[in-house]
Structure 1
Amino acid sequence: MTHAPQELTIRPLAGPQELVLFRRLSYVLDHELAEDLESGRRRPEWMWVALRGERVVARIAWWSQGGDIPLFLDFFDLDDTLPEPERGEAGLRLLEAATAAVVPAGAPRPEYGRFVPADWREDPAARDVVEARIRVMERSGARMLVERLRLEWRAGTPVPAGSGRLRFRPVDGREDLLSLMTPAMEGTLDAHGRADLASGLGAREAAEKHYDEELARYTTPREWWRIAELPGGEPVGFVIPARNNYNPIIAYIGVLPAQRGHGYIDDILAEGTRVLAAQDGVERIRASTDLGNVPMAKSFERLGYVNFERSFDMVWD
């Protein structure tokens, strides 16, 4: 005899004490949850579960920089032992109910991002997990924006000395950097930058958005930020070494259109890596680049960065 599934209960966590319930499903960022709750980057009311009896069949959570509005959807997990369509239906009901409660009315839905194994397409089990979540997101109206390589430099990996072709100086304030970020938007291979331009933003507006929404939030020293110049003072590009809430990172890197094709990206990436590697206790440096940005990926590879994972971002138009 076949029994109908138990009724689905969908609700937010009652408080941090229910983190153990949330963690009945697993994801690579689970180890960050407790600290994120303590710091205010997450809130129990932004963390939801779908239950059949005592069994967690799906979960979802949003992240912020500590403000009152969730900025990013980064947890969405399903019980992958469930058959389809039950697995997908439970996920979709959770996604819709939680989004309606968490995202303010009229506000754009935060982007969804997920880390996935580097070989997820070749591994049938990993592919099933990834594609199950993509299907649910697409049913809710989301579309794939980009797949990215996640990269890591590890302590002990040699960092080449400067080639002497470029000189580096600190960034002298917001306008100094924006004056280079703006022309660097021309011909960008970055999917987020291209999407901003396609939405109608001008290059200057897109650069300001990137600066204000991401770069300005880093609390590590601005003295780490570097502008690359030719010996005569002509600007070539820039690199933003920083530290987010979890790791030292290469936050942003760019080469001006007129200077592309000369291999300067290797010099600029090496400088950013040297800045971070010189800080106390740095065991690794993280970075990412779009799968389609082959020149950038090759530069990271030449500098000894390892592709340890991938990620993808989905958006709602």
Structure 2
Amino acid sequence: MKFRSIAAADFARIPHRTVPFDWATAVQYDERRTAGQYRPQWTWLAEDGDRVLARAMWWGFGDGEHPLALDYLYVHHSVADPATLVGDLLNAAHETFLAEGAPELPAYHLKLPLNWRADPASVAAVDWRRTAAARAGLSEDNERLRYEWTPADGLPEPPARLDFRPEPDDDVMLSVFRRLTEGSLDTETRRGVTAVGVDAHARADFEFYRDQMPGPREWWRLAYTAGGDLVGLALPSRNASNAVVGYLGVLPEHRGHGYIHDLLAHITRHHAELGASRVVADTDLVNQPMAAAFTRGRYRNIEMRLVFSAPH
């Protein structure tokens, strides 16, 4: 068995989907390849002679040096033990990514329909993918919900009780990121704080949104009451394809008063005023207050994701 990244001549050999998820169309692949988000060195094959038995495709920002997420996996129906084969394929690619300077193993983002557990074939497909990811060091999993807002859903009311102000001082913003980690229900935040501490995790989040996300730093706002008390942070942003909610949070001393709805309304209206045709957002399945806020804020739950990542 040979594991390798693809060459230009291999583009026509990218296999088609075998389950109703975990795939990209030829058009999507070409668009993202043109944008530098899919690259030959980030697309790997498992070959037996001239047969492609498995394929893994990683995604990254068009101007990024390293892949950020494993997007898609495929295995040929003739493979008796897909978890072992794909685990070995991922390990081969991971070894190369780390040797080339990647700071960590890219997580595997498995996008799924909301009803996937009702389909035995989908359950089986998820099971071997979970095992393969764990074999390749991605042993932690987190279930996340994706939400979508479009203009047809209607705008939320303006958040009249809060004043949203720009804050150009990075140190001030970083201090807010630190405070928002306290009591967070976000799984990655809790894992990160446990692994590296509040300061390091808050800085990593701050630098990710400032330096890697395409949304400009100038969009960030701190929210204050009429009396001047700092309530929280509203951080609209963008990813490579869409406007996104980004990051929002209420400081611990102000939680329980519904301010999360004001922050979300500000972000939604911000994107709408700029002409966004779609705003997407994600939250953990266990973060029910945030999920409820999205529903109240006129967002629709359109899919879920299983995220498999390496332990911190």
Pair in the same fold by TM > 0.5: yes
Shift of 1:193: 0.9
1:160-171 equivalent positions in 2, closer than 5 A: 160-171=156-167
Shift of 1:310: 0.7
Aligned twin of 2:3: 10
Task: Please tell me whether the aligned partners of residues 233 and 249 of structure 2 are also in contact (alpha carbons under 8 angstroms).
Answer: yes
1:281-292 equivalent positions in 2, closer than 5 A: 282-292=276-286
Aligned CA distance change for structure 1 residues 83 and 12 (closer, same or farther; 3 Å): closer
Counterparts of 1:316 and 1:218 in 2: how far apart (Å)?
Answer: 22
Aligned twin of 1:177: 173
Task: Please tell me whether the aligned partners of residues 240 and 272 of structure 1 are also in contact (alpha carbons under 8 angstroms).
Answer: yes
The equivalent position to 1:261 in structure 2, one of 237, 251, 256, is 256
Report the aligned-residue RMSD. 2.2
Task: Please tell me whether the aligned partners of residues 165 and 231 of structure 1 are also in contact (alpha carbons under 8 angstroms).
Answer: yes
Q: Indicate the SS of the match to 1:245.
A: coil
User: TM-score of the superposition, structure 1-length normalised?
Assistant: 0.88
Task: Please tell me whether the aligned partners of residues 45 and 102 of structure 1 are also in contact (alpha carbons under 8 angstroms).
Answer: no
Counterparts of 1:137 and 1:220 in 2: how far apart (Å)?
Answer: 31
Q: Indicate the SS of the match to 1:142.
A: coil
Aligned twin of 2:144: 148
Identity, in percent, stands at 34
1:99-135, Cα deviation, whole Å (9 max, x unpaired): 2233317853222222111222222222121112001
Report which stretch shifted further, 51-60 or 149-158.
51-60
Task: Please tell me whether the aligned partners of residues 25 and 78 of structure 1 are also in contact (alpha carbons under 8 angstroms).
Answer: no
1:254-309, Cα deviation, whole Å (9 max, x unpaired): 110001011110111011000001112x2211000011100000000111111111
Report which stretch shifted further, 257-266 or 152-161.
152-161
Task: Please tell me whether the aligned partners of residues 13 and 44 of structure 1 are also in contact (alpha carbons under 8 angstroms).
Answer: yes
Task: Please tell me whether the aligned partners of residues 215 and 251 of structure 1 are also in contact (alpha carbons under 8 angstroms).
Answer: no
Task: Please tell me whether the aligned partners of residues 220 and 235 of structure 2 are also in contact (alpha carbons under 8 angstroms).
Answer: yes
The equivalent position to 1:228 in structure 2, one of 202, 223, 230, is 223
Q: Indicate the SS of the match to 2:261.
A: helix
Q: Indicate the SS of the match to 2:92.
A: helix
Shift of 1:11: 2.4
How many residue pairs get aligned? The number is 305
Task: Please tell me whether the aligned partners of residues 24 and 56 of structure 1 are also in contact (alpha carbons under 8 angstroms).
Answer: no
The equivalent position to 1:243 in structure 2, one of 238, 247, 251, is 238
Aligned twin of 1:309: 303
Give unmatched runs, 5+ long, in structure 2.
none
Q: Indicate the SS of the match to 1:240.
A: strand
Task: Please tell me whether the aligned partners of residues 144 and 312 of structure 1 are also in contact (alpha carbons under 8 angstroms).
Answer: no
Task: Please tell me whether the aligned partners of residues 15 and 74 of structure 2 are also in contact (alpha carbons under 8 angstroms).
Answer: no
1:64-84, Cα deviation, whole Å (9 max, x unpaired): 3333333332222223x3464
Q: Indicate the SS of the match to 2:223.
A: strand
Q: Indicate the SS of the match to 1:292.
A: coil
User: TM-score of the superposition, structure 2-length normalised?
Assistant: 0.89
1:67 pairs with 2:60: no
Task: Please tell me whether the aligned partners of residues 164 and 222 of structure 2 are also in contact (alpha carbons under 8 angstroms).
Answer: yes
Aligned CA distance change for structure 1 residues 200 and 45 (closer, same or farther; 3 Å): closer
Report which stretch shifted further, 306-315 or 42-51.
42-51
1:77 pairs with 2:74: yes
1:142-192, Cα deviation, whole Å (9 max, x unpaired): 313311001101222122222422121223242232221111100111111
The one-letter amino acid paired with 1:132 is W
Counterparts of 1:214 and 1:74 in 2: how far apart (Å)?
Answer: 21
Counterparts of 1:287 and 1:311 in 2: how far apart (Å)?
Answer: 12
Counterparts of 2:291 and 2:203 in 1: how far apart (Å)?
Answer: 25
